[in-house]
Structure 1
Amino acid sequence: MPEVNKSSRHAVNKIFGEALPDIAPDERDTDSPDDDADRDRWLRNNIPPHHQ
């Protein structure tokens, strides 16, 4: 795939907005183990009666 130069990329982003920010994967927030525990707890507390 040909590399897009910055001026054409800027023109497209000006019209459509930036689809994905230029952020490296290691700079993004990652889910913490606590998030998984909270989701699991919510699911266990909200089991429909016909599944118990």
Structure 2
Amino acid sequence: MEWSEPSRTVRVGVARMDGHVTIRVAGELDIASVPVLARELHRAVARPARCWT
């Protein structure tokens, strides 16, 4: 699993296997974490794969 650079409140992990994407979120989800989460979700879906949340 590749983890995003840590912010003050949240980290996002993305793993790819057999054409699927697994996204894990650790930490506080609040307005301050939106940019980190949005960036990582956009990166995850930019490459073709099936996403499970």
Normalised to the residue count of structure 1, the TM-score between the two structures is 0.29
Larger radius of gyration: 1
Per the normalisation by structure 2, the TM-score is 0.29
Structure holding more helix per residue: 1
Asked which structure has the greater RCO (Cα within 8 Å, sep 6+), the reply is 2
Comparing both structures, which one devotes a greater share of its residues to strand? 2
